[in-house]
Chain A
Amino acid sequence: MKEVLDVARGVAWRVLHRMYTSPSIFLPTIIFPLFFFTAFAGGLSRVRHIPGFDFRSGYTAFQFVFVLLQSAAFSGVFTGFGIARDFESGFMRRLMLAAPNRSGIVLGYLLSTIARWLVTITVVTVVALVARMQIGGNGVDLFGLYALGLLLNLAGTLWATGVAMRLRSQQAGPVMQMPVFLLLFFAPVYVPLDLLQGWIHAVATVNPLTELLEAGRGFISGERTRTAAAFAISAGLIAGFALWAVRGLRKAEAAG
Chain B
Amino acid sequence: MSLAAVQALTLARRSIIRTARQPALVVFPLIFPALLLAVNAGGLKAETRLPGFPTNSFLAFALAVPFVQGALLSTVNANVEFARDIQTGFLNRLALTPVRSLVLLVGQLGGLMTIAVVQGVFYLAIGLIFGVRLKSGFAGGLLLLALEAMIALAFAGMGSWAALRTGSTDAVQSLFPVFFVFLFISSMNIPRSLIETNWFRWAATANPVSYLIEAVRSLVITGWDGEALGLGFAVAGGVSVLGFALAAHALLHRLERA
Seen from chain A, the residues whose Cβ lies within 8 Å of a Cβ on chain B are 24, 27-28, 31-32, 35-36, 38-39, 42-47, 49-53, 171, 173-174, 178, 181-182, 185-186, 188-191, 195-201, 203
Contact = CB atoms under 8 A, between A and B. Distances in A.
A84 to B, nearest CB: 13
B200 A49 contact: no
B46 A43 contact: no
Nearest to A42: B200
A50 B50 contact: yes
A188 B43 contact: yes
- Central interface residue in B39, B43, B189, B195, by most chain A CB within 10 Å: B43
Contacts of A186: 39
Given A42-B200, A198-B45, A185 B50 contact: no
Interface of B: 24, 27-28, 32, 35-36, 39, 42-47, 49-50, 170-171, 173-174, 177, 180-181, 184-185, 189-190, 194-197, 199-200, 204
Given A32-B177, A50-B50, A200 B39 contact: yes
Given A50-B50, A191-B46, A185 B195 contact: no
A195 B35 contact: no
- Central interface residue in A42, A191, A195, by most chain B CB within 10 Å: A42
18 contacts: A24-B171, A31-B177, A32-B180, A35-B181, A35-B184, A36-B184, A46-B194, A47-B47, A50-B46, A50-B47, A174-B28, A185-B39, A188-B43, A189-B39, A190-B47, A191-B46, A196-B43, A201-B42
Given A35-B180, A174-B28, A46 B196 contact: yes
B179 to A, nearest CB: 11
Contact of B49 (A45, A51, A199): A51
Contacts of B200: 38, 42-43
A197 B46 contact: yes
Given A24-B170, A42-B197, A43-B189, A189 B24 contact: no
A174 B46 contact: no
Nearest to A202: B42
Which 5 A/B pairs are nearest by Cβ-Cβ distance?
A200-B42, A39-B184, A42-B200, A185-B39, A46-B196
B28 to A, nearest CB: 5
A45 to B, nearest CB: 5
Contacts of A201: 42
Given A43-B200, A47-B50, A50-B50, 8 more contacts: A39-B189, A44-B189, A44-B190, A47-B46, A47-B47, A171-B24, A185-B35, A190-B47
B46 A195 contact: yes
A45 B43 CA distance: 15
A174 B32 CA distance: 10
Contacts of A45: 196-197
Contacts of A52: 46
Contacts of B189: 39, 43-44
A53 B174 CA distance: 38
